[in-house]
Amino acid sequence: MLKLLIATNNTGKMVEIRALLDGLDMELFTPAQLGIELNVHEDGQTYLENALLKGKAFASASGMLTLADDSGLEIDALGGLPGLRSARFVDRPGATDADRRRKALESLQAYPRPWRARFRCWVAVVTPDGRAQMSEGLCEGEIIPQERGHNGFGYDPIFLLPELGKTMAELSMVEKNRLSHRARAALAALPLIENYRAEFA
C-alpha cells in the first residue's frame, strides 16, 4: 500500500482530502501522526511556490512521498485579494475564519454586486529528494453578503456557486469533493501520485 503524507495540520482540509482519497490503495498520514512539527515560511510569490515549499520541507523531514497544497480566494472587485494572503487576511494573532470573512465583506461594501470570485488551488506531489509534480484546480463563484451553511471552513459560508444556488458551506462532502478547487487539484494529482507507487508502496 502506498504511504502518503498530507502536509497540513488544518483539520478541515484533512477531512476533505481523506474523503477524496477514500477507497484508494494508499495510507494517509498527517505530520502530527509522525511527530513532525514544521513551521514553513510561506513566502512564495504564487500558490505553486508555496505548495512546493511546504511539500519539499515535509517530504525531506519525513522521508515520505508528500502531498502539499496552497490555495486562496480571489475576489475580482478587490483586485484578486485576499489571494495568497487568504489565511492571513486579518493580520492579528488569533484571528479566526469568521474574522477573515468579516473583513472580506467589509472590504466589498463600496462595490456593486455581483462580487465575482474564485477559489484557486495548486497541489504539489513531492518526493524526499525534491522531485515534484504539480496540478491546479479552480472553482468559480461569487461572494454573498450573508453567511449560509455550516459545512466546510474558511470562506466557504460566503462563497456561492450560482449554478447550484448554494454556498460551499451548504454542500455535502460528496458534492464539495466533486466541485471544489481542492478536489479538482487533488483529483488531477492522482495520476501523479500513481507514478510513484512502485517507489513508495
CATH topology of domain 2-200: Maf protein (3.90.950)
Q: What pTM did the predictor assign?
A: 0.90
pLDDT by residue, tens only, the chain of 201 residues = 999 999 998 888 888 888 888 878 899 999 999 999 998 988 899 999 999 999 999 999 999 999 999 999 999 999 999 999 998 999 899 999 999 999 999 999 999 999 999 999 999 999 999 999 999 999 999 999 999 999 988 999 999 999 999 999 999 988 998 899 999 999 999 999 999 998 988
Which residue ranges make up each domain of the chain? 2-200
Active site residues: 70
d(CA 185, CA 177) in angstroms, rounded, equals 11
d(CA 56, CA 132) in angstroms, rounded, equals 8
Contacts of 84 (CB under 8 A, 6+ apart): 44, 45, 46, 47, 50, 70, 72
